[in-house]
A and B are shown apart, each in its own frame.
Chain A
Amino acid sequence: MIEPTRSFRIRVLAGLAAIAVIGAACGGSTTSPSPATSAPPASVPASGEVPSTPSDDLSGQEVTVIGTWGGTEQDAFLAMVKPWEERTGATVKYTGTRDLNTVLTTGVASGVLPDLAGLPGPGQMTEWAGSLVDLSGVLDSATYSSETAAPLVELGTVNGKLVGVFIKTAVKGLIWYNPSVIDLSGGAPATWDDLQGVVSQNASKAQAAWCVGIESGAASGWPGTDWIEDIVLRQAGPDVYNSWWQGQVKWTDPQIKSAFETFGSVVAAAYGGGTGVNATNFQVAGDPLFASPPGCLFHHQASFITGLGGFATATAGTDYDFFPFPDIDAQYSGAVEGAGDLFGMFHDTPAARSLMAYLVTAEAQDIWVKIGGALSANKNATGYPDDISKRSAEALLNAKIFVFDASDLMPAAMNSAFWSGVVKYASDPGQLDSILAELDSAQADAYGG
């Protein structure tokens, strides 16, 4: 039996002290990950006053940002925030993740969130609206709404609360081609039938009519959903399109089914067939356009493709050019589908407010626009590096009918089911009816609440 002695008591006290120290250390570490949430320095105006301008002195503060951008996109974003960091003395701590949805879902549930974050899409944004800060007090509202295309302002608003802004945007449904392979100087095909005519005239010039690649990791299938959306919009019209993403039109509806079938005809005429479509990553899917002999005549992808794959090193105008997705039904002529990267604010700190207000200005937007691969929602950002990006920005801002990417607007579960449905369809088109029936049951499930 151990008999406590004097030295023993001292050691007990030492042990207790160690417990206390560890307790203190743990207590300290729970607050340290977000130093920006600690009390602001006196020089910063309290929230509620005039939106802080980028010239505020915020030195030593940090804004944590999570987004999906990696590689060149990440570099572009960091270049965009650099002037702000220099002006304010604050730093941006950016983390890029392809698994944004998981990170933020967990974050919203647990409360451990970055100050600013990219949001996967308007559908998901709506679900998180309660955790997001109302930006109308953060941005200069009047300037923001006058500079930004109205449909995009509207998309960032939930129940009258502005919770999301577009850091960059893209026009979906552009058809890319190589002008040295196909001569379209006489005018781009205006209708789907004209396009089929161009395809059959030039059939001998490439191995296949289309380049399609829908591989994209856990999000595989999304480029195919863009195809189907573009077809629905022009075949069935914007009303059907909007009711469809709202869950009011079934997937087995003949109008949606026919859009799948039109896409199926494209897959059948694609470089590598359905197997190639599924195996090819979307970033390099258009590369066979530049091969010799060319692998395909056309590639369908959003405006951001100019920053990716073979497009990034090719010359705009001589190596590649685009025309808008042709009309299928004349009554819906001029319809455009757009998309963009939404940004929201989870912590209302002076530095986060200042950064947010800065990011939507024409000055900041111009930086990314000049680097390429991005269009701006801001009408005053005009630094587009070439004619092609300028034309795509105009297509977006001057659209007669503007709709947002339907799959991004659908509830996450529906979106994810749509992606895998497209993958399944590309690998086995004969299963269309059962795929659509499965999507119907996913729809019944996803919109139920």
Chain B
Amino acid sequence: MDPRLVTAVIVVVGVPAVLVGYIWLTELGLRLFGQRLRPRIRPWLWLAPALAFLAVFLVYPTIGTFVRSLHNKAGTEFVGIENFAWFFGNASSLIALRNSLIWLVVLTAITVGIGLLIALLVDRVRYETVAKSVIFVPLAISMVAASVIWTFMYDWRTPPEPQVGTLNSVLGSAGIAPVAWVQQSGWAFNTILLVVVMAWMWTGFCMVILSAALKGINPELLEAARVDGASERQVFRGITLPLLAPTIAVVTTTMIITALKAFDVVFVMTSGNYDTQVVAYQMIKQLYDFGQPGRASAIAVILLLAIIPVMALNIRRFRAQEAIR
């Protein structure tokens, strides 16, 4: 029999068997303890595998990355904050930092803003499902494929040749000279064009989540407000928006993290040329092209630190909400 088939069978049958086996084993072990202690130990035993995975695959690498970021190229010598100093003293990484900031602000604004708008608009129409599906579909496309699609959208050919890029052929039919879109680095215009690609994919995601939250709002509340003579705008600002706020916060956090992780679009569409590099792209470049694991780790740490305030805000919000319940 094909060894892969054997492996598949083992995985399908074996993994659940191991899980069940583990639970039974812990029960066996628990018999060593007194009746009173058991309920207090049991949850920890059940959590142990997950915690072990977290420790091995998340905590240990994080600490390792931090330690590595304080060492030189070969990892043999402690260099303190030299790698961080390099990052902030380097023209190319400062542009990457600026671009990541643009990604963060513009991507979040477009996806959450337009996502919310669409969710509100389609909430009242009969063809809601169709409209939502159409907007959601791009999320199913892989990031690389989406980038390739948009490479064709932005394509530019030396003028006498026919423009096969969608945008430029539209311009051409209006009699306007074609523009080499991804090379327009003035005002970071090309970076914003790349953000649009990601926004095209993620707006649907924001819309679906916000739309679900919208459906969760008790219609009686809206009804009551309207009966009391509130205008639609007042209903939205006074009732809908506050009730949607926790969801908007979650979606915004997700998009901020997505923006900071942006890499694929830049890699496929410009390879970081024309001043479109982002922080995550610099990290990959340092690690693989430049053989600088120390610097790459430093960039990873910077990215991690940049996300912490967002996480902290989120947790505070979550706690506040729990307190209300």
Contact = CB atoms under 8 A, between A and B. Distances in A.
A186 interface: no
B288 A22 contact: no
Interface string A246-265: 00000000000000000000
Residue from B35, B271, B272, B273 with most neighbouring chain A CB atoms (10 Å) = B273
B290 A416 contact: yes
Contacts of A21: 10, 14
B21 A14 contact: yes
Contact of B160 (A16, A207, A278): A207
B18 A22 contact: yes
A413 B290 contact: yes
Contacts of A217: 271
A16 B21 contact: yes
Interface in B1-55: 3, 6-7, 10-11, 13-15, 17-18, 20-22, 24-25, 27-28, 31, 35, 38
B17 A413 contact: no
Contacts of A280: 158
A276 B158 contact: yes
Contacts of A29: 7
Contacts of A101: 288-289
> Interface extent on A, as a size class?
35 or more
Interface string A195-218: 000000000000100000000011
Nearest to B157: A279
A271 interface: yes
A295 B288 contact: no
B289 A416 contact: yes
A226 to B, nearest CB: 18
Contacts of A278: 180, 183, 273-274
Contacts of A71: none
Interface residues of B, number: 42
Contact of A14 (B3, B17, B288, B290): B17
Contacts of B21: 11-12, 14-16, 18-19
Given A18-B18, A22-B18, A12 B24 contact: yes
A275 B159 CA distance: 11
A438 B91 contact: yes
A22 B18 CA distance: 9
A11 B273 contact: no
B22 A105 contact: no
B297 interface: no
B73 interface: yes
Interface string B120-137: 000000000000000000
A42 interface: no
Interface in A400-419: 412-413, 416
Contacts of B25: 12, 15
B52 to A, nearest CB: 15
A423 B274 contact: yes
Contacts of B91: 438
A127 to B, nearest CB: 7
B288 A102 contact: yes
B122 to A, nearest CB: 39
Contacts of B274: 278, 423, 427
Contacts of B291: 105, 127, 412-413
A131 to B, nearest CB: 14
A372 interface: no
Contacts of A420: 272-273
Interface in A13-32: 14-16, 18-19, 21-22, 25, 28-29, 32
Nearest to B10: A25
A220 B273 contact: yes
Contacts of A105: 288, 291
B46 to A, nearest CB: 14
B13 A18 contact: yes
Contacts of A275: 156, 180, 183
Nearest to B35: A1
B267 interface: yes
A412 B10 CA distance: 44
Contacts of A272: 158-159
B72 to A, nearest CB: 10
Contacts of B261: none
Nearest to B3: A32
Residue from A18, A217, A288 with most neighbouring chain B CB atoms (10 Å) = A18
B87 to A, nearest CB: 13
Contacts of B285: 416
B252 interface: no
A166 B194 CA distance: 40
A26 to B, nearest CB: 9
A11 B288 CA distance: 49
Contacts of A423: 273-274
A39 interface: no
A430 interface: no
Interface in A215-251: 217-218, 220-221
B99 interface: no
Contacts of A11: 20-21, 24
A8 B24 contact: yes
A434 to B, nearest CB: 8
A420 B183 CA distance: 13
Given A14-B21, A18-B13, A25-B10, A2 B27 contact: yes
A433 to B, nearest CB: 13
Nearest to B27: A2
A4 interface: yes
Interface in A371-385: none
Given A101-B289, A420-B272, A19 B158 contact: no
8 contacts: A11-B24, A12-B25, A18-B17, A22-B14, A280-B158, A413-B292, A416-B289, A427-B274
Given A1-B38, A19-B18, A220-B273, 15 more contacts: A1-B35, A8-B24, A15-B25, A16-B21, A19-B21, A102-B288, A217-B271, A220-B271, A278-B183, A295-B158, A412-B289, A412-B290, A413-B292, A423-B274, A427-B274
8 nearest interchain CB pairs?
A15-B21, A272-B158, A18-B17, A413-B290, A276-B158, A102-B288, A18-B14, A275-B180
